[in-house]
Amino acid sequence: MLKAAVLVSGGGTNLQAIIDAIDSGVITNTKIELVISNNKNAFALERAAKHGIPARCISPRDYNSREQFNEELLAAIESRDIDLVVLAGCLVVIPEILIRRYPNRIINIHPSLIPSFCGTGFYGLKVHEEALKRGVKITGATVHFVDSGTDTGPIILQKAVEVKAGDTPKELQLRVMQEAEWKILPEAINLIANGKIEVVDNKAILK
């Protein structure tokens, strides 16, 4: 049984997609052991509580230094014997100590087709604003392993989404979430939970 910790910051629609996928059997062999938010007001925390999933807020604001926050975050994850850390709408910079401790065992959902519209400063609505500004006809979402860069780890899954004439950033964000994020994040977790993903030469390979 894969034990997952899900890190969130906001509405938690990606967390909900994971919860629903486990309930429906789309994801097998997996249990969400813990949800952690850096934002105490994140609706994601309510989603976790509603499903009886242990959830807590660990925010950098509550610690005297970033190092103390980083150590608390790592300790919270290690205390549950976690196999996979899932960043689902998580806006916190993941500490190097966590990345080193969980090599190719931290995954992130990014709302574009990496390497487009990613890297420092590209998160949430900003990603879709830039895609519309550039005039791309296709965008989408990417699930990737987290390494010490920003959105640079091995790509696990991607799914394309059509940009429609007249799309606002919000409309495009919702379509990318509905048609891509909420599908490929659960699919990636299921593949990992069932031993179907291997990283070779820094590329995620479907076994």
Min separation Cβ 198 and ligand GRF, Å: 25
First to last CA, the chain: 19
Q: Is 51 a catalytic residue?
A: no
Closer residue to ligand GRF, CB minimum distance, 10 or 154? 10
Closer residue to ligand GRF, CB minimum distance, 50 or 196? 50
C-alpha span between 153 and 163 (Å, rounded): 26
Closer residue to ligand GRF, CB minimum distance, 16 or 190? 16
Name the strand (E) or helix (H) holding 98: helix 96-101
Give the CA-trace dihedral at 98, 20, 3, 71, to 10 degrees.
30
- Which of the residues 51, 110, 128, 144 is marked catalytic? 110
Residues 6+ apart with CB under 8 A from 14: 8, 88, 89, 109, 177, 181, 182, 185
Min separation Cβ 111 and ligand GRF, Å: 4
Look at the block and give the residue holding tokens 């790509």: 155
Closer residue to ligand GRF, CB minimum distance, 73 or 128? 128
C-beta atoms surrounding 206 within 10 Å: 9
Min separation Cβ 68 and ligand GRF, Å: 25
Name the strand (E) or helix (H) holding 140: strand 138-145
C-alpha span between 140 and 111 (Å, rounded): 6
Min separation Cβ 123 and ligand GRF, Å: 6
- Enumerate binding residues for ligand GRF (CB under 6 A): 8, 10-15, 44, 88-89, 109, 111, 124, 173, 177, 181
Catalytic residue positions, numbered: 110
